[in-house]
Amino acid sequence: MTDTVLPLSRSVTRVLETLMGLGTLSVGVVFLRIVHASPPPYGDPGDIGSAAFFPGLIALLVSALGVVLVLMAWRPHLPRSIATGQTSRALLAYALMVAVAAGLPWLGIWLAVMLAVPLLAVLFGERRWGVLLILAVVPPVLVIHLFEGVMGIYFPRGVLL
Amino acid sequence: MLASPWTFLALSAGLAAGILIGALPGLTATMAVVVLAPFTFFMEAAIGIPFLLGIYKGAIYGGSIPAILVNTPGTAAAAATARDGYALTLQGSSRKALELSLFSSVVADLLSTMVLIVVAIPLASIAIRFGSPEFALLYLIALTMIATVSGDNVAKGLTAAGLGLLVACIGLDPMSGYQRFTFGSTDLLGGVSLIPLLIGMFALSEILMQLTHPPERRDGTGEVVHGGERLRWAEFWALRLTILRSTSLGTFIGSLPGLGAEIACWIAYGLARGRSREPERFGKGSFEGLAAAESGNNAVVPAALIPMTVFGIPGDTITAVLIGALMAQGMMPGPLLIQQNPGFLFGLFLVLLVTNVLLLVFGLFAIRWLKQVTRIPPAVLYPCVLLLCLCGAYAVNSSTFDLLILAFGGGLGYLMRRTGFPIAPLIIGLLLGPGFESALRQSLVFSNGSLAIFWSRPGSLVLLSLLALVIVVMAWQGLKSKGAASRLPRSRRMKSHNAKGGDS
């Protein structure tokens, strides 16, 4: 499992930094648009007493910082600060996490975690069936019983059980 | 507090769990505290908070065990420990290195706890007189410091803090009770759930980072023979000045918002090397280097509780989680905690002292038995962490919506870490947001919108000067470090990609 960490090329770093700046800018602009909508949903953003004052101020700050980030991404000597890595495996794992988080109410805790735990182990390179089977059964049984039996937290059972 | 056997048991369990998790390479102290925090919501505060403190202290110490034995720091705070600790192991003195690491940690922790006890009450008696303008400036100082020191890029740190403040606006307005940015969802009425977001940003993102950058396997670790002679008293006594110097430095760094153990260990190590009569031995098995790194990072733990207990401001990401846990128990850290719950606070101080004795006992046990733990493969470890994350996030409010916040936090945390955005300012911005908003708006309402309220009062004038000083110092340090960083070899600059974001 050796891994040599190398920085991304300057052009790719520039594109990613620009995208992050634009993302920040768009978050700020979305909040600004909500606050300054007509009629203003939370009161006049210029009024100190209104609920819109602080979010308006911070959204303006975030938008300005987004612009700064975009400008900084285009400076001539941009440091190559983003490292390469096995992003595809991480994205697969993230898709698994989102699927489990979103699907847990329907799948139920048992099915969701008994699938998620060995699948994540596979992404980490585990290929032995015995280990995967143990991972699918032992940690979920221990942890779920700890939460349900000791702490009194009951998890969704899903539509199957 | 300690009269209850349950508190003592919780403290011991927390310490043992902390050492165990800290000793597992890849699991950070922040991750340990955040993943186990949901367990405390079902305990009394007098049991739950000592449990978390035990995890915090145990994990910071535990990180040194794999650093010394297999040259893989268990936590980012133990990175400096690995340099001389592993060199000593290669020389057949692993037992000596482990004992020196433990004794230095315990001494530093004890001295730093004494400072906390001596300083907290007088500072709180000053803080209790603070009004809204002073608190607004105090929050601004904390956010500025955290945003500027947490990462390599000040703009990214400030952006993260701004995003945290923006997320804090979701939910009910703290002054008028008006619904903001809830989009009709009742799940967002109370704001974004802090603990599921923290678990996502620290624990899930760590799993994703480990997949992106699998840890390197060190050469020759299988051939090392562990054991050797025990540490002699004379050897330890000879290091007293190094330990004292590093403890003072660690305590100072820990008491400042935003600077954590992972920074203290390197500064203490560098200072010890500068003052040493044998600087050439550093990195090759120097006792001074090992003692400095370990006392520097462990002194941070009690010191980080100073801003938390006195002002309600988290010193680092772990104290941010502790504040979240205290809030879940219905307590608000800050000067009012000392006024309203003095018994709890003094009990907490006592717990910190007792933890040192327990750390010594558990540490000696861990030195002997924890070698095997470092060999747990990531393919077994991280799926179990995912399981704990899912169950812990759901347990906070028994809400499936919190699982979505967990997943969102994981994605955001990963994106931020990959692109060099520090996580700590976002979390601390989110935590300080409601207090900062209330203090700022109250100040401006009192002064009819005049900003003069921030310099017309003696307390606020002092804090405003402090804010200006912080900005000037941070700008100067930034310019200096930029020059220094450009002189560093590229491999060194890219080394800590997995522990970015002020995560201990």
Backbone phi, psi, residue B438, to 5°? -60, -45
Q: Do B403 and A90 touch (CB under 8 A)?
A: no
Which chain A residues have a beta carbon less than 8 Å from that of B411?
94, 98
C-alpha distance across the termini of chain B, in Å: 28
pLDDT in tens, B52-79: 999 988 888 888 888 888 777 777 778 7
Say yes or no for a CB contact (<8 Å) between A116 and B390.
yes
* B164, B428 Cβ separation under 8 angstroms: yes
Cβ separation of A125 and B379 shorter than 8 Å? yes
Query: A49, B418: Cβ pair inside 8 Å?
Result: no
**Given pLDDT bands bounded at 50, 70 and 90, which one contains residue B217?**
low
Q: Is residue A122 a contact partner of residue A132, using CB atoms and an 8 Å limit?
A: yes
Q: What is the mean pLDDT of chain B?
A: 83
- Range in B88-92, B140-144, B270-274, B476-480 with the lowest mean pLDDT: B476-480
DSSP notation for B24-88: STT--HHHHHHHHHHHHTTS-HHHHHHHHHHHHHHHHHHTHHHHHHHS--SSGGGHHHHHHHHHH
- Of B188, B211, B256, give the one whose Cα is nearest residue B386: B211
CA distance, residue A45 to nearest chain B CA (Å) = 12
How far does the CA of residue B261 sit from the closest CA of chain A (Å)? 23
Mean pLDDT, all residues of chain A: 89
CA distance B338 to chain A (A): 29
pLDDT digits (tens, 9 = 90+) for B172-200: 888 888 889 988 888 888 889 888 898 89
DSSP type of residue B467? H
Answer yes or no: do A54 and B440 touch at CB < 8 A: yes
Residue B110 has pLDDT above 90, yes or no: yes
CA distance B80 to B64: 9
Residue B378 at interface with chain A, using a CB cutoff of 8 Å = yes
- Which residues 410-429 of chain B have a CB within 8 Å of chain A? 410-411, 414, 418-421
- DSSP characters for B206-244? HHHHHHHSPPPPPTTGGGPPP--PPPPHHHHHTTHHHHH
From the list A87, A105, A156, the residue facing B212 with the nearest CB is A87
The whole-number pLDDT of residue B56 equals 87
Selection from A143, A109, A150, A142 nearest residue B42 by Cα: A150
More confident residue, A82 or B418: B418
pLDDT in tens, B5-54: 888 899 999 999 988 888 877 677 888 888 888 888 778 888 888 999 99
Above 80 in pLDDT, residue B109?
yes
- Is residue A2 predicted with pLDDT exceeding 60? no
For an interface test with A, give the residue of B386, B436, B451 to mutate (most A CBs within 10 A): B386
Residue A18, judged by CB atoms within 10 A of its CB (0-12, 13-18, 19+), counts as middle
Q: Is the pLDDT of residue A61 over 80?
A: yes
Residue B220: per-residue pLDDT: 45
pLDDT for residue B159:
94
pLDDT of residue B99: 92
Alpha-carbon torsion (A35, A37, A40, A46), positive or negative = positive
CB contact under 8 A, B394 and A68: no
Please, where are the H alpha helices in A36-155? 53-73, 87-107, 109-123, 129-145
ipTM comes to: 0.93
Q: What is the mean pLDDT of residues B220-234?
A: 69
Percentage of chain B with pLDDT > 70?
89
What is d(CA A111, CA A119) in angstroms, rounded to the nearest whole number? 12
Q: Is the pLDDT confidence value at B372 over 80?
A: no
Using an 8 Å Cβ cutoff, are A87 and A78 in contact?
no
End-to-end CA distance of chain A: 40
Q: Which stretch, B36-50, B248-262, B337-351, B454-468, has highest mean pLDDT?
A: B454-468
**Separation of alpha carbons B354 and B247, rounded Å:** 19
For residue A160, give how far its alpha carbon lies from the nearest alpha carbon of chain B (Å): 17
The per-residue pLDDT for range A112-128, each reduced to its tens digit, is 999 999 999 999 999 99
Segment B464-501, tens digit of pLDDT: 998 899 888 877 776 666 555 444 444 444 334 444 44
